[in-house]
Amino acid sequence: MSKNDSTNFVLHAKSDQFYWEGIGQLSIKTFSNGKAHYKTNKGMFAVEESRYLLLNKGSYTISIDETKDVESFCIFFKDGFEAEVFNSLKETNDNLLNDPFMDTSSIVFFDKTYHKNNTLSFQLETFKHILPSLEINSVGYEEQFHKLMQYILNEHFNTYKEVESLSAIRTSTREELYRRICIAHDYIRAYYDKTIKLNDIARISCLSPNHLLRTYTQIYGKTPHQHISEFRVTKAKQLLSELSNNMTDITFKLGFQNPVSFSKMFKQHVGISPKEYRKKVILDKKN
């Protein structure tokens, strides 16, 4: 999905069904009103409305399979743009200048999904709003790419706090281990509503189950199982609030084999059964 490797550009579209595979530039992927699935040679990612996916230049596939239109707003950066912006930042930012880990000639980001905070959301919404009035390659157009790249670079440096928390001696080992744990985390995010086994997560992240569990907990403060349960509970609350979903449908949408298993898990984490939670939602809507 690349117009020209030497050009910054935006892809803004809507579709309920979409599939593409090929080589793309360094990019930010964002979606609203649904989610998109990406697959690279390193991992699998689900990009929801509250998150964004950062991908380095490389091959990938994207698929959208929804019942309603999903809006995509994806930012593609020209080759070398990250180094260009970084070199301008390091003259004035001591934290960036003194960072011991970066080779400014070739910055490789972590391929992973990130939380889309208020700062980035505002930048993206502003860009989306003014985009129709901007001429391609105009000053105002290019300014938006510089602002977004500055944000990405700052986030990249912030991730090194997590990288440095790992116990490996060599910096390169810590970075690779962090990448693998991020792959595991994004796999869980993408498939928490399916039947996932520990060996599946270990295989996709190229780690032994024991190494995966130990390091995953070190970074996220939770085990993979705890994260799966957390994501399922959050989704269950959303589905229970939509009265068109019956309990059996919700059970299978969350990857459970039967309603009893779903009910036990939900009550364990929420304190009340799914039926009681739905009654509470109905009462709250009436009041």
**What pLDDT sits at residue 3?**
59
- Taking the chain (287 residues) in runs of 10, the rounded mean pLDDT of each run is 76 97 97 97 95 97 96 96 86 55 70 96 96 93 96 92 83 92 97 95 97 95 96 96 91 93 96 94 82
Q: What is the pLDDT of residue 210?
A: 97
* pTM metric for this prediction: 0.88
Q: What is the pLDDT of residue 94?
A: 59
Q: Is 74 exposed, middle or buried (CB count within 10 Å of its CB: 0-12, 13-18, 19+)? A: buried
Show Cβ contacts of residue 238 under 8 Å, excluding neighbours closer than 6 positions: none
Give pLDDT, residue 167. 80
3-state secondary structure of 147: helix
pLDDT value at residue 4: 61
Distances (CA, A) of 36 to 33, 176, 252, 266: 10, 26, 20, 27
- Token reading at 150: 């500055």
Contact 277, 243 (CB under 8 A): no
Collapse the DSSP code of 138 into the 3-class scheme (helix H, G, I; strand E, B; otherwise coil) and give the result: coil
The pLDDT assigned to 88 comes to 78
Q: Which amino acid is at 173?
A: T
Separation in Å, CA 95 to CA 86, 140, 153: 12, 28, 12
Whether the Cβ atoms of residue 4 and residue 46 lie closer than 8 Å to each other:
no
What does the DSSP 8-state code read for residue 224?
H
User: In whole angstroms, what separates CA 238 from the centre of its chain?
Assistant: 19
Distance CA 4, CA 107 (A): 20
Residue 3's closest CA among 64, 77, 73? 77
| Terminal C-alpha separation, the chain | 49
Report d(CA 112, CA 51) in Å as an integer: 10
Reading the block at residue 72, the tokens are: 């995509």
